[in-house]
Structure 1
Amino acid sequence: MKTLIFCIMLIWPLMLAAQTKPIATIPFVLENNGIYIYCQVNAADSLKFLFDTGANGSVLSEAAATRIKLPRTGTTRNVGSNGTNTVGQSAGNVVRFGSLTKSDVLLAVIPYKGFNFDGVFGTDFMKGYVIEVDYHKKELRFYEPAGYHNDLSAYARCKLRFVDDYPTITSTIVANGRRYTGRFGLDTGADDVLTVAAPFGRKHGLPGRLPRIGTATSQGSDGSTYESAVVLAPEIRFGQKCFYRVPATLPQSTSGVNATEDKAGFWGNGFLKRFNAVWDFDRNYLYLKPNKNLYTEL
Structure 2
Amino acid sequence: MRKIVYLLFLGIWAVIGPLHAQTVKSDSVFLKLQQAFMAKSVGLLEPVLSNDFSVGVYNSPIAKYMLQNIVSHFAVDSMKLKAVERVSGKNSVLFIVYPHGEPAITTRAWLNDSHKLLYVDLFDQLCGLNRYKVSTLQATIPIEVKDGSIYLIATINDSQKPLRFLFDTGADGMAMRKSLADSLGLRVAREQNTSVVGGNMQIQVSTGNTIHFDKFAVNNQSVAIFEHVREGTAGIIGINLAYQYIVKVDFDKMIMQLYSMGNYNEEDKGGTTLSIKNGKGILELPLNLKVGQKEVTGNFIFDTGAGYYVIGFGDFVKRNELLSSGFKPYFSSTTVSMGVSSPTFTGNFEKMTVGAIDLRNVPGTLKKYREGDERATIEDGSFGVKTISRFNFTINLAEKTIHLTPNQRFNTPIDFMLGDKMFSFNERGQLAVLVDITAEQLFKQGDVVLSINDIESETLKKDPARILKLQAMPSGSKLSFKVLRDGQVVTISA
Q: Does the alignment reach a TM-score above 0.5? A: yes
Shift of 1:257: 7.0
TM-score computed with the length of structure 1 as normaliser: 0.86
Residue of structure 1 equivalent to 2:307: 191
1:83-102 counterparts in 2 under 5 A?
Answer: 83-102=199-218
Look up the match of 1:205.
321
1:293 and 2:384 are equivalent in the alignment: no
| 1:140 maps to 2:256 | yes
Query: Larger relative contact order (C-alpha < 8 A, sep ≥ 6)?
Result: 1
Moved more, 282-291 or 125-134: 125-134
Q: How does 1:146-295 map to 2 (within 5 A)?
A: 146-175=262-291, 178-209=294-325, 210-221=327-338, 223-254=339-370, 262-294=378-410, 295=412
Q: How many residues align?
A: 279
Instruction: Tell me how large the CA RMSD over aligned residues is.
Output: 2.3
Taking structure 2 as the reference length, what is the TM-score of the superposition?
0.53
Maintained 8 Å contact 1:94/1:102 = yes
Q: Which residue of 2 aligns with 1:8?
A: none
- Paired residue type of 2:314: A
Structure 2: how far apart are the matches of 1:283 and 1:257? 31
Q: 2:171 aligns with which of 41, 47, 55?
A: 55
Deviation at 1:253, TM superposition (A): 3.8
Mapped partners of 1:227, 1:90: distance in 2 = 32
The percentage of counterpart residues that share the same residue type is 20
Matched, 1:34 2:149: yes
Query: Shift of the alpha carbon at 1:56?
Result: 0.6
Cα contact 1:216–1:249 (8 A) shared by 2: no
Matching residue's letter, 1:276 = N
CA distance in 2, matches of 1:190, 1:83: 16
Q: 2:246 aligned with 1:130, yes or no?
A: yes
Aligned to 2:442: none
Whole-angstrom CA distance in 2 between matches of 1:246 and 1:201 = 17
Q: Which residues of structure 1 form unaligned runs of 5+?
A: 1-18
- Cα–Cα, structure 1 residues 39 and 251, in superposed 2: closer, same or farther, change >3 Å? same
Contact (CA 8 Å) 2:276, 2:400: kept in 1 or not? yes
List gaps (5 residues or longer) in structure 2: 1-133, 416-494
Structure 1 CA distance for aligned equivalents of residues 366 and 156 of structure 2 = 37
Q: Distance in 2 between matches of 1:261 and 1:86?
A: 16
Are residues 99 and 155 of structure 1, via their aligned partners in 2, closer, same or farther at CA, if it must alter by over 3 Å?
farther
- In structure 2, C-alpha distance between the alignment counterparts of 1:198 and 1:89, rounded to whole Å: 28
The one-letter amino acid paired with 2:138 is I
CA distance in 2: counterparts of 1:287 and 1:173, whole angstroms: 21
